[in-house]
């Protein structure tokens, strides 16, 4: 039950148009991605202990170390190999790149698992390396896997739901409620506050929010099927308890994700929506920015040439009432126009925004 589902948390927040302060999003995503491999290993160790009639502490420790070390090394090596392969191979049909990466993910999981390593950890680390590397068609690949992830979450919940008979949940209600409430109110907050003791940059409100949004998803239910497949005694009862606790977590924590963020004053101002939807190649180090024209900005003059922009800066395109056009120096600008800027000097561009009174703008730069 230790696996959390940050994707569900951010789906709920996104549907409400809520952004979080204090760098909480990457923190929750890191936790969600890293605790799945540990939960997987603990599940396998406990199943092995039950099946063998007892596993010694040295054996369990050796298995844990091997799973972590082989999984981490395998994930790193395969991640680098996948980056090299995707950038090296030239596929005429760009839509086949996500299929290639998907095949590489299955291959990584299979090889590392056969080598007695943790396949989940390997795929996670390979994904971290791949996602933070310079690759071709990065935006289209990311869009594909975003939709692919949601598709399989839906499929998982439907499939796992078919394994449950509602009347079988009634006998486990009392123990499910006890464990669920204990995890939500005691175990989760205690583990979070202890784990975050070295990190002084998190306020008590952020720590409290992280404690509350330990939302359970499909992964604990999937792990609960392992004892079923292994033929462990009372495995069906374990599965029903895990399913009950997951539903309880979704009902209690899932429905209060936005409320708690508002109550703890952790809601950040939403970022300005990008209107042009243009991505620069990672090889281009220029900054791309979109600005909204207000009366304060137009007070400096209503023509493009009247706006004092730094050198090496271009006003590439204007959006006005749903229409896009390329401006000239004498183009007359109007209130609520949106201008796409590209500049080689990001600091000078920000200074010019201050002088012009530009308050609403986006700012994107390849590092």
Sign of dihedral through CA atoms 39, 45, 47, 49?
A: negative
CATH 3.30.70.1450: which residues of the chain? 287-365
Position 363 scores a pLDDT of 83
CATH pick for 6-268 out of 1.10.10.10, 3.40.366.30, 3.40.50.300, 1.20.1530.20: 1.20.1530.20
Helices 119-131 and 97-114 pack at an angle, to 10 degrees, of: 140
pTM of the model: 0.69
CATH 1.20.1530.20: which residues of the chain? 6-268
The span from the CA of 122 to the CA of 130, in Å, is: 12
Position 6 scores a pLDDT of 64
CA dihedral of 349, 354, 356, 361, whole degrees rounded to 10: 70
Give the pLDDT confidence of 286-311 residue by residue, as tens digits: 888 999 999 988 998 889 998 888 98
Partners of 340 in the β-ladder: 290, 317
Please tell me the CATH code under which domain 287-365 is placed.
3.30.70.1450
pLDDT at 93 over 70: yes
Closest CA to 78 of 115, 26, 28, 42: 115
**If pLDDT is split at 50, 70 and 90, which confidence band does 342 have?**
very high
The span from the CA of 353 to the CA of 361, in Å, is: 9
* Residues whose CB is less than 8 angstroms from the CB of residue 240 and which lie 6 or more positions away in sequence, other chains included: 164, 168, 169, 171, 172, 176
**If pLDDT is split at 50, 70 and 90, which confidence band does 284 have?**
confident
pLDDT at 158 over 80: yes
């Amino acid at each position: 039950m230790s696996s959390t589902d940050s994707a569900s948390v951010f789906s709920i927040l996104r549907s409400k148009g809520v952004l979080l302060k204090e760098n909480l999003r990457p923190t929750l995503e890191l936790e969600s991605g890293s605790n799945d491999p540990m939960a997987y290993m603990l599940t396998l160790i406990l199943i092995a202990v039950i099946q063998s009639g007892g596993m010694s502490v040295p054996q369990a420790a050796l298995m844990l170390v091997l799973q972590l070390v082989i999984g981490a090394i395998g994930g790193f090596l395969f991640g680098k190999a996948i980056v090299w392969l995707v950038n090296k191979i030239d596929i005429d049909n760009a839509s086949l790149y996500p299929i290639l990466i998907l095949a590489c993910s299955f291959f990584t999981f299979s090889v590392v698992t056969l080598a007695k390593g943790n396949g989940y950890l390997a795929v996670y680390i390979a994904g971290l390396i791949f996602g933070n590397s310079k690759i071709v068609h990065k935006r289209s690949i990311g869009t594909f896997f975003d939709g692919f992830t949601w598709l399989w979450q839906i499929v998982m919940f439907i499939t796992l739901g078919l394994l449950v008979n509602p009347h079988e949940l009634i006998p486990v209600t009392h123990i499910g409620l006890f464990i669920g409430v204990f995890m939500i109110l005691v175990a989760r907050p205690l583990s979070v506050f202890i784990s975050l003791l070295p990190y002084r940059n998190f306020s008590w409100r952020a720590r409290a929010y992280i404690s509350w949004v330990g939302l359970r998803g499909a992964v604990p239910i999937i792990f609960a099927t392992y004892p079923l497949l292994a033929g462990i005694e009372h495995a069906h009862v374990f599965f029903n308890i895990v399913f009950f606790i997951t539903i309880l977590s979704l009902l209690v924590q899932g429905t209060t994700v936005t409320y708690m963020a508002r109550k703890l004053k952790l809601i950040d101002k939403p970022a300005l929506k990008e209107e042009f939807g243009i991505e620069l190649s990672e090889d281009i180090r220029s900054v791309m920015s979109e600005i909204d024209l207000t009366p304060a900005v137009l007070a400096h003059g209503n023509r493009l040439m009247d706006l004092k922009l730094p050198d090496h800066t271009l006003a590439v395109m204007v959006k006005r009432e749903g229409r896009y056009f390329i401006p000239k120096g004498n183009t007359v600008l109007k209130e609520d126009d949106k201008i796409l800027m590209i500049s080689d000097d990001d600091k000078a561009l920000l200074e010019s925004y201050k002088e012009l009174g530009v308050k609403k703008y986006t700012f994107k730069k390849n590092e």
